[in-house]
Amino acid sequence: MKSIFTLVFSLFACTLFGQYSFEYTIASDEDEALYAGIEDNSNNMVLTGRIGSWDNFDWDPYILKVYPNGDTMSKRMVSVDTNGWFQTVEQIDDGNYMFLGQCAINNGSDFDHLWVCKMDTALNIVFQKTYKITTDFYFSIAYSNSFIDSDRNIVLAGGKDIISFTPTIIGTMHL
């Protein structure tokens, strides 16, 4: 009798504390990839990646938020002059999300800028900024991971990638 009670209790505990799952299909003619995700303080899943054309190497950030009841919210950040995507997402102390990734300004393919974007929980942009990381003509940057350390700093991990030589005039700027 004890073994039957233990078995029934174990099955009940597994279903009570089991992990929820969801299935979501992105159906479009474009290429999509999701790279990272977090579970936020409200048990929502926030995923980030890119959407665009692999043939043209033209990307926009793509964000997908899945609520515990299965509802979804998605956002594509279309920009005329920026080619890039968000590689990681972190939830910061004020409850908002910080998306981090790389981009190329003026639709180039030399991903030499860090792209930082803070969004509220409804995926509205609070602020965004790019920072030029490398000035080396032959290299681009690539971020693969981020985490929040014990001092509440966001730490990025990644590296520099060698890029093929393709001469391109990006533009001019007067100071």
Number of domains in the chain: 1
Look at residue 158 and tell me if it is in a domain: yes
Q: How far apart are CA 74 and CA 55, in angstroms?
A: 24
Q: Which of 81, 97, 80 is nearest to 89 (CA)?
A: 97
- Confidence (pLDDT) at 135: 66
Q: How far apart are CA 60 and CA 32, in angstroms?
A: 10
- Confidence (pLDDT) at 167: 42
CATH of the domain at 103: 2.40.128
Q: How many CB atoms lie within 10 A of CB 36?
A: 20
Look at residue 80 and tell me if it is in a domain: yes
Q: Which position has the token pair 């929040």? A: 148
Look at residue 170 and tell me if it is in a domain: no
Look at residue 167 and tell me if it is in a domain: no
Look at residue 17 and tell me if it is in a domain: no
Look at residue 3 and tell me if it is in a domain: no
Q: Could you report the average pLDDT of every consecutive run of 10 residues in the chain (175 residues)?
A: 57 53 61 87 93 80 92 88 86 93 75 88 94 69 76 77 46 33
